[in-house]
Each structure stands twice: as C-alpha cells, then as structure tokens.
C-alpha cells in the first residue's frame, strides 16, 4: 500500500468544477485523473473547495464546469483543494452572476 507523504509537498491536479455555491462559498471539483486512494485509504471522486482556497483578489467564486488547477491536500474531513487557479496558473473565470445580489433579480421588475 502506497501513501502520499508531505515531504514532496501538495500534489498539483487538474479538474473541473462540479458545483460551487457562491453565496455559501464552497463547492466540489471532479479531478480529471481519478484519485486512486486518499491518505486515509478511501477512494474519492470529489474534492472539496472553499472560496478562501481560490487565488486572486476580490470576490472569489468558480463557475460550474470551469477547468481548474489546484493543490490536493488532506483536510479535516477528507481531501480538499488549495491554491485554486485556472489551468497553467491563469486566473479563474468565476461565476458571472456571483457579484449580483439575489434580490436584484427578484425585485427589479417592481422598481
């Protein structure tokens, strides 16, 4: 049985965003290469991502289906993403509607 060690640092991976809730600030990434096993030995098909792990300034979000590059690290509840960027270190595209408040869409016709 092989395990990942922290002496080499985090493992850089490529994947696409399955889901990201811009309001709550978290989502999940599907790796392009399936993870054979995690550090705790359980197979994993999704990687948790928090908005604080996204590189760049301003409001941080991810668009569903967006390709991303990230470091794979062990979190408190399983594998999670860190240092999330676009492929080859480019900025992420982000959710185009994330900066707009929900009530703006809902009540705009009554103003």
Residue matched to tokens 């959710």: 95
65-68: list long-range contacts, CB under 8 Å, 24+ apart: 65/16, 65/17, 66/16, 66/17, 66/92, 66/93, 66/94, 67/14, 67/15, 67/16, 68/14, 68/15, 68/16, 68/17, 68/29, 68/92
Higher per-residue confidence, 90 vs 110 = 90
Count how many Cα atoms sit within 13 Å of the Cα of residue 41 in the half-sphere of its side chain: 2
* pLDDT at site 67: 96
Query: How would you classify residue 41: left for phi > 0, otherwise alpha for psi between -120 and 50, otherwise beta?
Result: left
**Confidence grade of residue 11 (pLDDT, cut at 50, 70, 90):** low
Predicted pLDDT of residue 44: 59
Does residue 1 have a pLDDT over 60?
no
d(CA 87, CA 89): 5
Has this prediction a pTM greater than 0.85? no
The pLDDT value recorded for residue 5 is 43
Q: List domains and CATH numbers for the chain.
A: 10-110 (2.40.50.140)
Task: Give the pLDDT confidence of 26-83 residue by residue, as tens digits.
Answer: 999 999 886 655 455 555 578 999 999 999 888 899 999 999 999 999 888 888 999 9
């Amino acid at each position: 049985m092989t395990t990942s060690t922290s002496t080499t640092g985090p493992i850089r991976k490529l994947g696409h965003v399955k889901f990201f809730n811009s309001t709550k600030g978290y989502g999940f990434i599907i790796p392009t290469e399936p993870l054979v096993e995690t550090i705790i030995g359980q197979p994993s098909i999704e990687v948790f991502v928090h908005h604080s792990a996204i590189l760049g300034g301003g409001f941080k979000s991810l668009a569903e289906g967006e390709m991303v590059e990230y470091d794979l690290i062990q979190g408190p509840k399983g594998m999670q993403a860190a240092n999330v960027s676009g492929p080859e270190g480019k900025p992420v595209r982000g959710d185009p509607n994330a900066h707009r408040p929900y009530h703006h869409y809902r009540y705009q016709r009554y103003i």
